């Protein structure tokens, strides 16, 4: 595969690419989710600047129109990403969109994020479409800890809860990472850091995902909301300590911007979403 991790470090803003010269667009085509993270709060609005938020959900063909418009406004975009607002594999829309992107803009890097529940069983499609980079959110590799972060999963038509759900999720995440990494896809892992729950577990996660084939690791500080609204967000020192523990095993990404599911432009720079969706982003 042409886009190795080394290439992506130059051309992909989320893998270390120069944030001032390369940008990304998120196409919000994936409405539903198949797991229930206790901190998740998906919203459709114009104001909030965090993951899981979008102005609207697009169909794959609308996403292509938005992409064309975005490339005119911001030719620096090198990455077409899909990061929600739900899970990219819970419905077929993300992979359909990537097929359109591949056909109409083969020069763009295709990047997606997923909770990984269906990563193993949909890996062949992801490989065949030529998705170059996949981010998997792995919040624990110990089912007892994961069960404190996730209420349930919907898997093959059945709801599983607690530790049983966590066991299935973790197994599929690690098997899925291995399968796509073996095929040459660059895998980044995100972990939502909840100090009281997985704070002491970060090194175990980093080690396990590195062994499975991930090459870069990103710690996302908890935004206390939903069922975890009583938890405290990590302070800078806790984030630094977690990064140091993870860094013993895997490269650590340090510039997470908490992007919306419909972000457009340079990481941390001007967001063109206001022009594309006529939305208003505070501070942009
Ligand atoms: Fe929300 Fe993402 Fe968790 Fe699904 S995987 S519940 S969209 S945070
Ligand atoms: Fe890809 Fe995630 Fe970066 Fe979006 S935020 S471009 S999905 S790595």
Here the ipTM equals 0.84
In a domain, 282, yes or no: no
Ligand nearest to the CA of 223: 1
H/E stretch holding 134: strand 133-137
- What's the whole-model pTM score? 0.90
pLDDT of residue 124: 98
Q: Across all residues in the chain, what is the average pLDDT?
A: 88
In a domain, 214, yes or no: yes
Closest CA to 84 of 96, 93, 73: 93
Q: How confident is the model at residue 275 (pLDDT cuts 50, 70, 90)?
A: confident
* Residue 248 belongs to domain with CATH number: 3.20.20.70
Closest CA to 135 of 26, 281, 61: 26
CA 112 – ligand 2 centroid, Å: 6
What is the CA 170 to chain-centroid distance, rounded?
16
User: Where does the chain have alpha helices with state H?
Assistant: 5-11, 60-73, 93-104, 119-129, 143-146, 162-182, 195-198, 202-212, 236-247, 273-277
Mean pLDDT throughout 125-135?
A: 96
pLDDT of residue 2: 52
Mean pLDDT throughout 223-252?
A: 93
The proportion of the chain whose per-residue pLDDT surpasses 70, expressed as a percent, equals 89
pLDDT of residue 257: 61
pLDDT of residue 106: 95
In a domain, 260, yes or no: yes
In a domain, 11, yes or no: yes
In a domain, 283, yes or no: no
What pLDDT, in 10s, does the model give residues 19-36?
A: 667 888 999 999 989 999
H/E stretch holding 71: helix 60-73
Instruction: Tell me which DSSP letter residue 201 carries.
Output: G
Peptide bond into 85 cis (omega under 30): yes
pLDDT of residue 56: 81
pLDDT of residue 126: 97
CA–CA distance, 24 with 14 (Å, rounded to integer): 9
| Closest C-alpha to ligand 1, atom 1 | 40
pLDDT of residue 269: 73
In a domain, 267, yes or no: yes
H/E stretch holding 165: helix 162-182
pLDDT of residue 20: 62
pLDDT of residue 278: 62
Buried/exposed code over 190-213 (b: 16+ C-beta within 10 A; e: otherwise) = bbbbbbebbbebbebbbbbbbebb
pLDDT of residue 283: 38
- Could you give the number of structural domains in the chain? 1
Q: Which amino acids bring their CB within 6 angstroms of ligand 1?
A: 33, 35-37, 40, 42, 52, 84, 86-87, 115
Residue to mutate, 50, 86, 189, 193, ligand 1, most ligand atoms under 8 Å from C-beta: 86
The yes-or-no verdict on residue 281 having pLDDT over 60 is no
For residue 124, give its domain range.
Answer: 5-277
pLDDT of residue 76: 86
pLDDT of residue 252: 93
pLDDT of residue 172: 98
pLDDT of residue 185: 95
| Closest C-alpha to ligand 1, atom 4 | 33
What pLDDT, in 10s, does the model give residues 251-273?
A: 998 766 667 777 888 776 777 87
Length of the chain equals: 284
Residue 271 pairs in a beta bridge with 265
Helix (H/G/I), strand (E/B), else coil: 21: coil
CA distances from 103 to 65, 99, 130 (A): 13, 6, 11
In a domain, 284, yes or no: no
CA 67 – ligand 2 centroid, Å: 15
What pLDDT, in 10s, does the model give residues 53-97?
A: 677 889 999 999 999 999 998 888 999 999 878 999 999 999 999
């Amino acid at each position: 595969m042409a886009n190795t991790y080394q290439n992506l470090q130059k051309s992909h803003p989320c893998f270390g690419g120069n944030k001032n010269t390369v940008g990304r667009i998120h196409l919000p085509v994936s409405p539903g989710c198949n797991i229930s993270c206790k901190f998740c709060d998906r919203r459709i609005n114009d104001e909030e600047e965090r993951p899981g938020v979008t102005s609207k959900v697009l169909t794959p063909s609308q996403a292509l129109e938005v992409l064309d418009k975005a490339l005119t406004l911001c030719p620096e975009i090198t990455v077409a990403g899909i990061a929600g607002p739900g899970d990219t594999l819970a419905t077929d829309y993300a992979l359909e969109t990537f097929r359109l992107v591949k056909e109409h803009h083969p020069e763009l890097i295709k990047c997606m994020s997923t909770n990984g529940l269906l990563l193993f069983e949909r890996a062949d499609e992801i490989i065949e479409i030529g998705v170059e980079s996949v981010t998997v959110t792995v919040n624990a590799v110990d089912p007892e800890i994961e069960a404190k972060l996730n209420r349930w999963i919907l898997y093959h038509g059945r709801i599983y809860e607690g530790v049983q759900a966590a066991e299935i999720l973790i197994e599929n995440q690690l098997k899925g990472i291995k399968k796509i990494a073996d095929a040459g896809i660059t895998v980044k892992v995100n972990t939502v850091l909840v100090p009281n729950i997985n704070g002491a577990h970060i090194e175990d996660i980093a080690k396990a995902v590195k062994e499975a084939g991930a090459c870069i690791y990103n710690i996302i500080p908890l935004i206390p909301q939903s069922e975890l609204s009583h938890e405290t967000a990590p302070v800078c020192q806790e984030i630094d300590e977690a990064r140091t523990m993870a860094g013993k095993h895997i490269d650590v990404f340090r510039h997470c911007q908490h992007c919306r599911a419909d972000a457009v432009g340079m990481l941390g720079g001007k967001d063109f979403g206001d022009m594309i969706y006529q939305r208003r982003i505070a501070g942009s």
